[in-house]
Amino acid sequence: MLICISSKADERRIEDFEILSMQQRSVVIDNILEKRVNKLMPKLMRRENIDMWILISREYNEDPILKTMLPSTWMGARRRTILIFTDLGDEGVKAQAMSRYDVGNVFTKAWDKESEPNQMKALVKLISQYDPKRIGVNQSKDFELADGLVATERDLLFSYLPTKYRDRVVSSEPLAVSWLETRIDEEVEIYKDLVALTKAVIKQGFSKDTITVRKTTVGDLVWWFRDTVSQLGLQTWFQPSIRLQRNRKTMGVSEDPKIVILPGDLLHVDFGINYLRLNTDIQQHAYVLNNGQNDAPKFLQDALKKGNRLQDILTSHFKRNRSGNEILSKSREQALLEGLNPMIYSHPIGYHGHAAGTTIGKWDSQFGVPGDGDRILHDSTAYSIELNVTVPVKEWNKDIMIMLEENALYKNTDLNYLAPRQKELILINYR
């Protein structure tokens, strides 16, 4: 978790956050993993009708889901790592490792190599002991994060499985995606502060303390974000990007790292942090005040309001059991009827920045996304509400783009932002 002094998320500064030591983080990660396996896994396995879930990986070629289940002190799989979840009904879910030793505090060892030297034969013996009716393995056509069982390991597994068990093997896709997308309460509390920290970094980046107008370049600002996160002992999960728009007819949205920031510029950042296995993904705008200005021009403020309106339209269509494609279609239809020029490309967020779950458009797929866009909404899932609107600005004699991204949680039929969203431009007063 993050320890924060300030109570208002939109007023926090970087120095208001105390980030846990690596040892403290380890304790939090392991405690959350144990709670997820004990409390969440039984519900998910029964909802998706999987009796046994088998994950197999070799060192340096890990299944992305298996990596979310390893103890904090493991940086990856060791040799061949096999994790097994078995639904025992009233007794809950049993988590075991086909290993000579326990895997953290969650997975108990299930292999005595002295009595059975062959790891795969020992696995088959365990399967026979529980006789599951449906055995899930990580293969998926639509979700790459649920497709972690490599061909060699699948072939090896099937070469040992008796025919009756081979016939019971199914794709674990629904369960695998549910594991990745579902957040428990402890993770939500971490997320709230992590999003607030992400915004605090953005606010400092978009300030005269960081930007020297007429000297600082777009590239300088990009690397300031990287360096600042590194100095905090954290990581970005993607290279931050800074985009610049200004009153120049021939200039569009530019990411040229050599461009120098000037008065009157409209700046944009796309930035995300990884911490305690969770990721943020935020986009905001700032305006560099020009001579004699105390606020951003009204036409830019109005443009931001159009972006906020598109957010409101999109989030109003988050309804349980609706698919991402249905949400996309209804949102675009309403936005177009209101005279907006929308583009929607919202995605799940969690253990991965572009996470598995219900996808709501892609920038190049505005009429639906086959596969992951067909997945319906589920409870306790987090999303990046990512979108843009193109707005004609007569004062600049061209169109500008308002690009926004906010992180939110869908729970109990409501979608709520994890920290207050941007509703006003950040002002950079360089004087």
* pLDDT at residue 431, rounded to an integer: 74
Q: What is the pLDDT of residues 156-215, one digit of tens each?
A: 999 999 999 999 999 999 999 999 999 999 999 999 999 999 999 999 999 999 999 999
The whole-angstrom separation of Cα 205 and Cα 94 is 47
Span 222-226, average pLDDT: 98
What is the pTM for the complete model shown?
Answer: 0.93
Beta-bridge mates of residue 410? 381, 415
Residue given tokens 């034969």 in the structure block? 121
Q: What is the band of 3 on the pLDDT scale with cuts at 50, 70, 90?
A: very low
| Contact criterion met (CB below 8 Å) for 104 and 71 | yes
Domains of the chain: 22-179 (3.40.350.10), 183-428 (3.90.230.10)
**pLDDT value at 30 more than 70:** yes
- 199: which 2 tokens? 């915004």
Q: What is the band of 251 on the pLDDT scale with cuts at 50, 70, 90?
A: confident
Residues in Cβ contact with 351 at an 8 Å cutoff, skipping those fewer than 6 apart: 68, 180, 277, 278, 279
CA torsion 170-370-406-287 (nearest 10°) is 150
Q: What is the band of 1 on the pLDDT scale with cuts at 50, 70, 90?
A: very low
Q: What is the band of 260 on the pLDDT scale with cuts at 50, 70, 90?
A: very high
Query: Which candidate, 341, 371, 351, places its Cα nearest to that of 359?
Result: 371
* pLDDT at residue 249, rounded to an integer: 79
Q: What is the pLDDT of residues 420-431, one digit of tens each?
A: 999 999 999 977
Q: Ramachandran region of residue 60, left (φ > 0), alpha (ψ -120 to 50) or beta?
A: left
The whole-angstrom separation of Cα 85 and Cα 94 is 6
The percent of residues above 90 in pLDDT, for the chain, comes to 90
* pLDDT at residue 192, rounded to an integer: 96
* pLDDT at residue 10, rounded to an integer: 63
SS (H, E, C) the chain: CEEECCCCHHHCCHHHEEECCHHHHHHHHHHHHHHHHHHHHHHHHHHCCCCEEEEEEECCECCHHHHHHCCCCCCCCCCEEEEEEEECHHHCEEEEECCCCCECCCEEECCCCCCCCCHHHHHHHHHHHHCCCCEEECCCCCCHHHCCCCHHHHHHHHHHCCHHHHCCEEECHHHHHHHHHECCHHHHHHHHHHHHHHHHHHHHHCCCCCCCCCCCEHHHHHHHHHHHHHHCCCEECCCCEEEEECCCCCCCCECCCCCECCCCCEEEEEECEEECCEECCEEEEEEECCCCCCCCCHHHHHHHHHHHHHHHHHHHCCCCCCEHHHHHHHHHHHHHHCCCCEEECEEECCCCCCCCCCCECECCECCCCCCCCCCECCCCEEEEEEEEEEEEECCCCEEEEEEEEEEEEEECCEEEECCCCCCCCEEECCC
* pLDDT at residue 252, rounded to an integer: 83
* pLDDT at residue 2, rounded to an integer: 52
* pLDDT at residue 11, rounded to an integer: 75
Q: What is the pLDDT of residues 269-324, one digit of tens each?
A: 999 999 999 999 999 999 999 988 999 999 999 999 999 999 999 999 999 899 99
**pLDDT value at 257 more than 90:** yes
Largest CA distance in the chain: 83
Q: What is the pLDDT of residues 335-361, one digit of tens each?
A: 999 999 999 999 999 999 999 999 999
Q: What is the pLDDT of residues 86-133, one digit of tens each?
A: 999 989 999 999 998 898 899 999 999 999 999 999 999 999 999 999
* pLDDT at residue 8, rounded to an integer: 60
Residue given tokens 């500008």 in the structure block? 400
| Contact criterion met (CB below 8 Å) for 5 and 194 | no
* pLDDT at residue 5, rounded to an integer: 41
Span 148-159, average pLDDT: 96
Counting beta carbons within 10 angstroms of the beta carbon of residue 234, is it exposed (0 to 12), middle (13 to 18) or buried (19 or more)?
Answer: middle
* pLDDT at residue 9, rounded to an integer: 57
